[in-house]
Amino acid sequence: MTAFAPIGWWATVFVSLYVLIRLWESDSPGQMFIEGWWFGLGLFGAGVSWVYVSMAVYGGMSSWLAAMATLLFCAFLALFPAATGWLAARMSKPGPGRLLVFIPACWVLMEWIRGWILSGFPWLAIGYAQVPDGWLAGYAPIFGVYGLSALSLFAAGALAWLFQRAWIPGAWVLPFALLVGVLASGEALRHIEWTKPEGLPVTVALLQGNIPQEMKWRPERAAQTLADYAGRIESSQAKLIVLPETALPVFYSQLPAAYLDGMTQLARERGADILAGVPTGDINGAYFNSVVSLGASPMQFYHKQHLVAFGEYVPKGFDWIVNVLHIPLSDFERGSKHQPPILAAGQRIAVNICYEDVFGHEIIRALPQATLLVNVTNDAWFGDSLASWQHAQMSQMRALETGRYMLRATNTGVTAIVDQNGYVKAVLPEFEAGTLEGKVQGYSGMTPYARWGNYPVLIGVAMLLLIGAVRQRP
């Protein structure tokens, strides 16, 4: 876990993968399955145990049931590294082919499956550890996070092969060259500018309301929340003002007309635009998790299209879980997969809401039209845990993959301005109300990843596994 945010010791990922790969050098498929499962249980048990907070503290689930559900969830996620070991053993014999080819290919396959099954949970994909400072980060605009995962496993495999042959005269040269080559190439790629600035920089203000999750949806708190955000908007001179996910905690149709008119008129007078998270629709019918634009530009809406299972929609057959949890607005409708960027503050803005920014192949749908990425989120569900920083690291990956700024406006953190190279340029402290102001640049152009998505990596993986399957035929 030290390799991921907030610690960010990215090099330790190679150490942990090296240990796992050494265990996998010559074991049977069954033994590699068990070793992979224990590795996965440690990774996810430490890395995503924050789901307990959302269920027990804010979801109203009893402590023992939430603890059991968290353990089962982590045990389920551990099956993916376990399946990696089993499949790699079935596809290959001990040796450099397993270390350098089949373990990386099987790992990426399992990460990809984990990224779509039950709507997807791609949290803690190994490639995220490289952002923004890792030696492999330069590959992100070409291959995306799954490519970085494959290359991380390749580097760890080369390291394992190197130590195997370290004491054999001359035998260490090839694995050493492979290891240095993949790391040095990644560092060299960091200096390529895949996109170019478009237009003039724009001033932005990202609002962090710090509304306690247990108070967010209480009717008696709504008026105060609306007033707090209105005050922060009034005090900002930025041309683009962004409020978090569901910052306005009532349906758009129920907002006081004077409130909406006042914000819109104020923004128009200043030549500014506001992006505000607000539920739209009708509680008794279809409703959406949305962002509305108000101000100098025409009013526009974005409706969230990738919903969170059990939090925003209920998978078939799992209604009993929602009956145990107490989550407001837990049955949203999906927005269209193909929504145009919002035109505001002279930018074409690809808006994504909360969990949507963990799916790189979905973010690139708005390209090349979009010049700026904006994520609005509410990670208050997970309390003071690793979740918000892990989520921010995924936003950094999306910025690096697309070569565009990512603006993050959150309820309790991490509210940040991330540049086109994945670096955090400015950030607000967590769990404090505040406004983060800065100047950002729009970008145009297409990185290789923005053009081709995950297809090159997945096609490569499929070809390698096909070769492995053919080799196993009697």
**185-199 per-position pLDDT tens digit:** 999 999 999 999 999
Residue 345, phi-psi category: left (phi > 0), alpha (psi -120 to 50), beta (remainder): left
- CATH no. for residue 206? 3.60.110.10
Average pLDDT across the chain, whole number: 91
Given this model, what pLDDT does residue 166 score?
Answer: 73
Structural domain harbouring 232: 196-446
Region 294-303 average pLDDT: 96
CB crowding 266-278: b at 16 or more within 10 Å, else e: bbeebebbbbbbb
Does the structure show a pLDDT above 80 at 334? yes
Region 67-73 average pLDDT: 92
Assign 330 a pLDDT band (cuts: 50, 70, 90). Answer: low
Region 431-440 average pLDDT: 96
CA separation for the pair 3, 21 (Å, rounded): 17
Given this model, what pLDDT does residue 461 score?
Answer: 95
224 and 174 assigned to the same domain: no
279 and 132 assigned to the same domain: no
Region 67-95 average pLDDT: 93
What letter would DSSP give residue 99?
I
Assign 384 a pLDDT band (cuts: 50, 70, 90). Answer: confident
Does the structure show a pLDDT above 60 at 325? no
Ranges assigned E (strand) in 55-181: none
Assign 468 a pLDDT band (cuts: 50, 70, 90). Answer: confident
CB atoms within 10 A of CB 402: 30
Residues catalogued as catalytic: 245, 304, 354
Given this model, what pLDDT does residue 311 score?
Answer: 65
SS (H, E, C) 263-317: HHHHHHHCCCEEEEEEEEECCCCCEEEEEEEEECCCCEEEECCCCCECCCECCCC
222 and 138 assigned to the same domain: no
Contact 195, 403 (CB under 8 A): yes
142 and 269 assigned to the same domain: no
Percent of the chain whose pLDDT exceeds 70: 94
Assign 167 a pLDDT band (cuts: 50, 70, 90). Answer: confident
- The verdict on residue 464 lying in a domain is yes
- The verdict on residue 307 lying in a domain is yes
Assign 352 a pLDDT band (cuts: 50, 70, 90). Answer: very high
206 and 320 assigned to the same domain: yes
Does the structure show a pLDDT above 70 at 36? yes
Residue 275 has, within 13 A of its CA and on its CB side, a CA count of 36
Is the torsion defined by CA of 227, 229, 232, 237 positive or negative? negative
Does the structure show a pLDDT above 60 at 266? yes
The structure tokens listed for 134 are 């890792």
232 and 347 assigned to the same domain: yes
Contacts of 93 (CB under 8 A, 6+ apart): none
Contact 259, 265 (CB under 8 A): no
The candidate with the shortest Cα–Cα distance to 31, out of 42, 46, 45, 20, is 20
37 and 95 assigned to the same domain: yes
296 and 220 assigned to the same domain: yes
